[in-house]
Amino acid sequence: MALKEIAREFQGKAAHLALRMPISWVNIITGPPAAVDGRTLDGRTQWFLQLLARSRQPALHQLSVAEARTDFDTFMQLMSGRPAPVGEIVDRTANGSTGSLRIRIYRPAHSVARLLPTILYFHGGGFVIGSLEGYDLACRYFCARSGCAVVSVDYRLAPEHKFPAAIDDGVAAFRWLSAEAAQLGLDPSRIVLAGDSAGGTIAAVAAQELRGEPHPPCLQWLIYPATDLAGGTASHKSCGEGFLLTAADMEWFRGHYLNSPAEIDDPRASPLRAADLTGVAPALIFTAGFDPLRDEGEAYANRLTAAGVKTIHREFDTLIHGFIGMRGALQAAARAMDDMVAGLRHELAQLGR
């Protein structure tokens, strides 16, 4: 093992020990609670952010694309907790928009369903970073706790493949899964379009484009989605520094993803800008209080509701962007993930009535 890898492993273990300190100690060390827009940051999350600042790691936007991808996957694997038990994990390929896409299929243990409901999951990472490997533990968790199969999609990333490559792959992945579902033991009438951050954007846009399909998605499950790449909401200003995802990071992502700033107005880049949202799948939208994307996620929920789409929006007001990758380190993140999965299970159960 290289010295750099040894150091990284040691730092990861030290951080976990620090994050598990008694909350009374954490409150003393962190000082006064951080508050923004009438919200108070979770104490352990504040301590995590302070530890991150003390590590003097370069900011994401200061890294090369290759470095950012490696660091992000390492972070997800360190912070996502222990592997949840699932019945089967299979890697295979699906038909993408321009060729084969790598996918990973997770099946729950002890399921007796003939055809399983399925979460078609698109990972986060600003359309630039993130991978099947980085999101493996999160997808295991979603599978084990929801009772659904999870199909995780390795869509094309920028800057090698700029807008709208990721969107095209998302739509193609759904159409492939819908056609192949029964042969895979999955229910084509119960496919949930899901994703976090940029993956939430892919799911939201795909839900718009697929509303006329023979088997449209039954739900969209959007976790702190990016719905307007202009970044002009109040939360981009109030939460754009000091809460993991920064305004500079967002600019870095946009610069790699878009061919030109003019594409921000395209509804396939900014789904909030779609002229008509009627007829899209019902939506579960979850946002974080200390997240630059908070307000645009809420705005998208409001637009869907105004269009007559059944929409449930919940804000986890003490958490930061990226919390689904922190289940193993932050209790508030773990509770939020439990709540999100419970909401998904409830809505799927309602569909069967």
Q: Catalytic site residues?
A: 197, 291, 321
Q: Which two tokens stand for residue 343?
A: 């909401």
* Closest alpha carbon to 232 in 253, 249, 247, 244: 247
Q: Which two tokens stand for residue 91?
A: 């890697």
What is the enclosing helix (H) or strand (E) of 93? strand 88-95
140 contacts 132 by C-beta, under 8 angstroms:
no
What is the enclosing helix (H) or strand (E) of 236? helix 234-238
Residue type, 257: Y
How many CB atoms lie under 10 A from the CB of residue 69?
Answer: 18
* Closest alpha carbon to 73 in 26, 22, 135, 16: 135
- Residue 83 half-sphere exposure, CB side, CA atoms within 13 Å? 10
Report the C-alpha gap between 323 and 333 in whole angstroms: 6
Q: SS3 of 306, please?
A: helix
Angle separating helix axes 3-19 and 65-79, nearest 10 degrees? 40
Classify residue 160 as exposed, middle or buried by CB count within 10 Å of its CB (0-12, 13-18, 19+). Answer: exposed
Bridge-partner residues for 287, per DSSP? 315
First to last CA, the chain: 55
Bridge-partner residues for 290, per DSSP? 320
Tell me how many degrees the CA angle 61-67-73 measures, rounded to the nearest 5.
100
